[in-house]
């Protein structure tokens, strides 16, 4: 922690309620400091931190009453110590400074402890207690419900990744904890499943159970359909099984995947899983987007390793971060384990480019886009088994609206040279190059 003395305009200093440990400012204390200043007495400098959101502002870490006193006497500039916390929690720093001259009230201590834990659940009761002047046991009581909710949230994330076939070391890395912690949490999994199964056995529906326990619906489906055949799963989801060479859907099933540009129907993923994989097979999803593939794999008892450039550890821990550098493509997972099925659903070419990240492949030229596909197929081939299959999902797009087909320029068409707009290709990875076959 570093400290720099400086005089700054009082207008640049902010009292940030997010890191202020007290319920308010005490007028008598402000008046005392103001009287000392008028009488010419020196008072301690105010501890401030550069505001994390406003670079030209400072927020108070210690000295809110002195700051108000300076304002009361009309000061325009005041002496401060600019503190660099080097990772220390600003709320706890402020709380620790506050307990010197005037102890935090019981309600202030409790509120500060809860706010600190909500901001960083890795803080221990001892660390929080030191800052607010309370014992570890007292802090435990303050945050017991928050800790239980956090542990449940962690359990659900671990349970989700475990169901999708993640090894413990990768779960630990993704969660930022040691592998022993993951092992201990996995011991709670049977009890978690039992709680849900109890409600399901009482006649509660999957959506009701998901809402009650705060679980994502696909994860509840994975428990509900435990041990069932794929046909039973289709029936339970009210999808129905289409003939193998012609699939039509009017909309995406909103139960699976997030609202995402280029979202694909979970019904289609279910059909791909049914026809081209078996239960417990490993599915590789290199461009996961909103997580439709992972969600559907949960419902159909497939393992799934998903990757995407958008890292969402809190909401999508099962989708690991991966940026496909078109100049240096690398397979994200090295090892002996190779997928049984690759579901490759790259971003649209042009169609959704305004909705994708600026460095998405959607913004590439047609030549670069096709070159990426070619390079990816070769990379997939080198990291697949002889029996691995690939589903290449491509929704092609052309500006045909209000234009006769014979006058179509097809400037935005990538693969399709007919009037059809959408196609699903299946690649069987054999020989030296993947061989496509229209479905």
* Domain boundaries, given as residue ranges, for the chain: 2-143, 192-224, 228-438
Dihedral pair phi/psi, residue 8, rounded to 5°: -130, 155
| DSSP type of residue 17 | G
- Return the C-alpha torsion angle 216, 221, 223, 227, nearest 10: -160
Q: What is the mean pLDDT of residues 248-273?
A: 92
- What does pLDDT average to over the chain? 87
Measured CA distances, 228 to 221, 233, 244, 301, 358 (Å) = 11, 7, 21, 9, 43
Q: What is the mean pLDDT of residues 404-430?
A: 54
Residue 188: partners with Cβ closer than 8 Å, 6 or more residues away: 155
Least confident span in 15-19, 84-88, 220-224, 429-433: 429-433
What pLDDT is recorded for position 101?
A: 64
Span 64-85, pLDDT tens digits: 999 999 999 999 999 999 999 9
What pLDDT is recorded for position 100?
A: 67
Q: What is the mean pLDDT of residues 150-166?
A: 92
With cut-offs at 50, 70 and 90, classify the pLDDT of residue 20.
very high
Span 334-358, pLDDT tens digits: 888 999 999 999 887 776 667 777 7
Global pTM reads 0.72
Q: What percent of the chain has pLDDT over 70?
A: 89
With cut-offs at 50, 70 and 90, classify the pLDDT of residue 278.
very high
What pLDDT is recorded for position 438?
A: 35
What pLDDT is recorded for position 62?
A: 94
State yes or no: pLDDT of 400 exceeds 60. Answer: no
What pLDDT is recorded for position 114?
A: 95
CA-to-CA distance for 398 and 413, rounded, in angstroms? 5
Dihedral pair phi/psi, residue 367, rounded to 5°: -65, -45
Q: Nearest-5° angle of CA 381, CA 439, CA 267? A: 95
Q: Pairing mode, if any, of strands 2-9 and 13-14?
A: unpaired
With cut-offs at 50, 70 and 90, classify the pLDDT of residue 396.
low
CA-to-CA distance for 187 and 353, rounded, in angstroms? 44
Q: What is the mean pLDDT of residues 41-57?
A: 91
CA-to-CA distance for 284 and 323, rounded, in angstroms? 15
Closest CA to 157 of 144, 176, 130: 176
What pLDDT is recorded for position 348?
A: 78
CA-to-CA distance for 347 and 393, rounded, in angstroms? 10
What pLDDT is recorded for position 345?
A: 92
Span 173-214, pLDDT tens digits: 999 888 998 988 888 888 888 989 999 999 999 999 999 988
State yes or no: pLDDT of 429 exceeds 80. Answer: no
* Helix count and strand count (H, E) for the chain: 15, 12
Closest CA to 109 of 23, 223, 32: 23
State yes or no: pLDDT of 103 exceeds 60. Answer: yes
What pLDDT is recorded for position 343?
A: 97
With cut-offs at 50, 70 and 90, classify the pLDDT of residue 425.
very low
With cut-offs at 50, 70 and 90, classify the pLDDT of residue 422.
very low
Hey, what CATH class is 2-143 in? alpha beta
Span 21-41, pLDDT tens digits: 998 899 999 999 999 999 999
Closest CA to 81 of 7, 177, 168, 158: 7
Hey, what CATH class is 228-438 in? alpha beta
With cut-offs at 50, 70 and 90, classify the pLDDT of residue 383.
very high
Measured CA distances, 24 to 79, 100, 105 (Å) = 23, 17, 11
């Amino acid at each position: 922690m570093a400290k720099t003395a400086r005089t700054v305009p009082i207008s640049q200093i902010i009292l940030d309620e997010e890191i202020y440990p007290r319920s308010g400012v005490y007028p008598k204390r402000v008046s005392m400091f103001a009287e000392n200043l008028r009488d010419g007495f020196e008072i301690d400098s105010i501890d401030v931190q550069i505001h994390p959101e406003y670079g030209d502002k400072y927020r108070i870490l210690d000295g809110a009453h002195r700051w108000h006193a300076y304002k009361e006497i009309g000061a325009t500039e005041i002496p401060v110590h600019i503190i660099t916390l080097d990772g220390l929690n600003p709320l706890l720093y402020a709380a620790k400074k506050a307990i010197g001259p005037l102890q935090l009230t019981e309600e202030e201590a409790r509120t500060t402890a809860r706010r600190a834990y909500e901001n960083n659940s890795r803080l221990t009761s001892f660390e929080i207690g030191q800052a607010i002047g309370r014992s570890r046991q007292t802090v435990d009581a303050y945050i017991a419900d928050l800790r239980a909710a956090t542990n449940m949230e962690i359990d659900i994330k671990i349970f989700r990744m475990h169901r999708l076939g993640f090894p413990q070391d990768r779960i630990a890395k993704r969660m930022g904890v040691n592998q022993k912690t993951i092992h201990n949490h996995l011991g709670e999994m049977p009890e978690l499943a039992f709680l849900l199964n109890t409600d399901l056995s009482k006649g509660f529906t999957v959506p009701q159970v998901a809402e009650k326990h705060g679980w994502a619906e696909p994860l509840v489906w994975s428990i509900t359909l435990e041990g069932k055949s794929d046909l039973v799963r289709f029936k339970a989801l009210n999808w129905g099984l289409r003939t193998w060479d012609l699939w039509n859907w009017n909309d995406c099933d909103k139960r699976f995947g997030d609202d995402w540009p280029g979202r694909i129907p979970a019904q289609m993923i279910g059909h791909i899983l049914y026809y081209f994989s078996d239960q417990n097979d490993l599915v590789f999803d290199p461009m996961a987007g909103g997580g439709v593939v992972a969600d559907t794999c949960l419902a159909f008892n497939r393992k799934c390793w998903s990757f995407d450039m958008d890292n969402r550890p809190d909401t999508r821990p099962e989708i690991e971060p991966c940026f496909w550098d078109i100049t240096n493509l690398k397979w994200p997972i090295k090892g002996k384990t190779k997928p049984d099925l690759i579901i490759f659903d790259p971003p649209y070419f042009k169609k959704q480019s305004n909705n994708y990240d600026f460095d998405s492949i959607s913004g590439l030229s047609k030549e670069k886009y096709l070159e990426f596909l070619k390079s990816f197929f070769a990379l997939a081939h080198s990291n697949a088994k002889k029996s691995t299959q690939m589903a290449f999902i491509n929704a092609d797009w052309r500006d045909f609206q209000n234009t006769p087909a014979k006058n179509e320029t097809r400037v935005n068409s990538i693969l399709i040279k007919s009037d059809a707009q959408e196609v699903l290709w299946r690649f069987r990875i054999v020989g030296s190059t993947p061989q496509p076959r229209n479905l």
